[in-house]
Structure 1
């Protein structure tokens, strides 16, 4: 975060007529939320980076976009827009995850998980309290909601990244030409597409790699019928600005690309694949649950409690994930089952990595056993899917080119 802030300051100082930097809010721990704004056009664009602590590439993409706009203000004039860039929505989470940065040389998958942290769902700032929950939004969420209400942007871009998989995009409504352009951008950058993402099971697939929110779902902010066990899209900052006609576009870039997720050949035995993958997920989460049985909360220092809580949530939602996958109609391609296979491995791997960090001070022997599992599972994932590091310039280019293309296609 310190480096991100320093680079933003330098950029604003170098282009004072085009770029402005200001604090728009503060995190739960009092850290500033920095926003760069470029241009003076009528249309408003908003880019949100750093919503998830385990996805640091969003900050690098945000700075790349800001540098481009600072050096080529004609882009802003052509779009007639002012572009606002929230550099990191969750600086507290980023601080706890510090250690995996989107810089070359590439880390190994195991190195990535040495400092892994992804907050529990109710501590992720793009998530809002579910219907009936009396808790107020997080301070970071409240800041984003205020910005959305003030700016009423034509587009809200939210930049994401996954450890292993393929590129995909999620749009809260159909934009003519946007899906084809996204696929073309990924192809030119050599980034495999996730043909059928596991995210958004209630979203409409525009294959390959693009999901649209069905019109009926977008019209119902209180819909509690979603099947995604990680949380409710209807209660998120993604859909909050739809009252202003705002399009929200999520762009996912893989740190390690797994070509298997692009395989469009039909799966020979869809039901058998689902059974195999759900069995793997349940076996690994049960193995973790058994290993952690009897470990007291006092073994985890207060400062590391968010790691423990996030790991426990992953173990708790595994059965719901299994129910969701089992209930789906699986007649799809091999790429879809590669995506599910990666997800089945990712959930217990993340839990093991975070619980290892949480227990290292108070229960080192259990932490060592968790480290061994994380090492074993990283190696098995690598053997199975042969992921290849995606160069950071390709990851950030996927974000930036997609944002510019969609901005040009969305009317005022």
Structure 2
């Protein structure tokens, strides 16, 4: 069995070509430029209406869900041209899907997707493999006869939209009934129990990829090498060709809406909008609840953005077009470029493993204590990792791929104090959900760094053991539950459709 049910770059392209061949009058495929390494940037377009919509997938190398969503959504639209047509209820538009903005980065992150580590369900549906661990008292989920293919409907791009219906029910997800209980969230502050009114995580419907395998193959470029955030005008660094291709596409299409599809390995879902869209937050929250995906109560992305209820952030009017990341790199987000054309950008985040506690709105008794604890955890683990790396005394690798891992790992090891300062200034530990999210982030940053450093060095037993242990501890501490890819893609696709209807 292959490592995950997400499509690889090759499978995405093959699936897009097959879809175009099946619907030649409805779907079209062209490249809009090339990556730094010469890989084409493929644009799959559906419909022929005068108004334009653009979906951007694969902006971050470690987030393969966007490509899967794009292919699924394009096939769904192609099966029923009335959705994009001029008739009653039609959107009267052309919908474009940039299948992967960073194919160079994605190629370095595909190791976990192709490795033979995908477990087969046992008689009770429990997952196999040493990296799949649950906290004490977590029940096994019966799933017996269902195969991973049936559970996720994502083994290949050809099966990416296996629901096959011609109505919105085609985007409902895996169909598994959500758990009735909130689930255990160990290390939740202030004696938190069940979250009143919170969505329960969807029950797994078969085997789940081991979270340890995700980190063993982890790669996410250094901040300045992420094409969604080109350098500001006047920066001596030239924009990457991927960034220029996207900016040129935005100027060419002048879309009504740009959807940027993202994923996070552990946590909840959230939505960012560059302009308020009436009715959209409530509709989005209903979609998340229907799929059993928890909402991030107050997402950390967009620290200066307005909170429009749980899980939704809106960019304030007059906000600067520049932003500074934890490394100090100042960029201009491609999300904001289209505003000159009246484009509304929406960032839709889907978790791979969900944690119910991130949506808990209850206040914590001692916010400063919570913040101090997670800060100490982050800085302590970074120090532990740095000491181990110093003992190994590595030299920068000579191969481009390993050097990219090395550079990104070093950057994460250097940003800990800056991240803690940001958390402290924003007083982020006000609710239980905030504290849970902080606890996840405090573990995620050093875990990502350790995983990439291990790959940069070609594998080091000490680092491998650290990655495996930290991954198990992350999953156990927060009772992280795998979200079937059918649910991840349904969340993003249905949210895009709701926003498209609201804006067109």
Using the size of structure 2 for normalisation, the TM-score is 0.77
Report the counterpart of residue 444 of structure 2 in structure 1.
Answer: 346
Between the aligned partners of 2:473 and 2:220, the Cα distance in structure 1 is 22
Q: Secondary structure at the match of 2:318?
A: helix
- 2:120 is the counterpart of 1:18: no
Which protein has the bigger helix share? 1
Is the Cα–Cα contact under 8 Å of residues 121 and 231 in structure 1 kept in the other structure?
A: no
- 2:215 is the counterpart of 1:113: yes
Change (3 A) 1:247 1:230: farther
In the TM superposition, 1:310-321 aligns within 5 A as 310-321=408-419
* Aligned length in residues: 401
- 2:93 is the counterpart of 1:63: no
- 2:37 is the counterpart of 1:29: yes
RMSD, aligned CA: 1.6
Report the counterpart of residue 172 of structure 1 in structure 2.
Answer: 274
Per-residue deviation, residues 280-299 of structure 1 (Å, max 9, x unmatched): 00001111111112623245
Using the size of structure 1 for normalisation, the TM-score is 0.94
Q: Which runs of 4+ in 1 moved over 6 A?
A: 231-234
Is the Cα–Cα contact under 8 Å of residues 170 and 249 in structure 1 kept in the other structure?
A: yes
Report the counterpart of residue 208 of structure 1 in structure 2.
Answer: 310
Report the counterpart of residue 186 of structure 2 in structure 1.
Answer: none
Q: Secondary structure at the match of 2:334?
A: coil
Is the Cα–Cα contact under 8 Å of residues 223 and 329 in structure 2 kept in the other structure?
A: no
Q: Secondary structure at the match of 2:420?
A: helix
Q: Identify which of 264, 281, 286 aligns with 2:383.
A: 286
Change (3 A) 1:100 1:57: farther
Between the aligned partners of 2:471 and 2:394, the Cα distance in structure 1 is 27
Is the Cα–Cα contact under 8 Å of residues 169 and 251 in structure 1 kept in the other structure?
A: yes
Q: Secondary structure at the match of 1:207?
A: coil
Residue 380 of structure 1 deviates from its aligned partner by 1.2
Residue 176 of structure 1 deviates from its aligned partner by 0.4
Change (3 A) 1:403 1:230: farther
- 2:434 is the counterpart of 1:336: yes
Between the aligned partners of 1:233 and 1:395, the Cα distance in structure 2 is 31
Change (3 A) 1:297 1:47: same
Residue 317 of structure 1 deviates from its aligned partner by 1.3
Report the counterpart of residue 498 of structure 2 in structure 1.
Answer: 405
Per-residue deviation, residues 224-257 of structure 1 (Å, max 9, x unmatched): 6x5x526778611111111111111000000000
- Show structure 2 runs of 5+ residues with no match: 1-8, 114-151, 156-206
Is the Cα–Cα contact under 8 Å of residues 271 and 330 in structure 1 kept in the other structure?
A: no
Report the counterpart of residue 189 of structure 1 in structure 2.
Answer: 291
Report the counterpart of residue 334 of structure 2 in structure 1.
Answer: 237
- 2:104 is the counterpart of 1:92: yes
Point out the more displaced range, 106-115 or 244-253. Answer: 106-115
Between the aligned partners of 1:375 and 1:132, the Cα distance in structure 2 is 43
Point out the more displaced range, 199-208 or 49-58. Answer: 199-208
Q: Secondary structure at the match of 1:293?
A: helix
- Show structure 1 runs of 5+ residues with no match: none
Change (3 A) 1:76 1:192: same
Change (3 A) 1:14 1:109: same
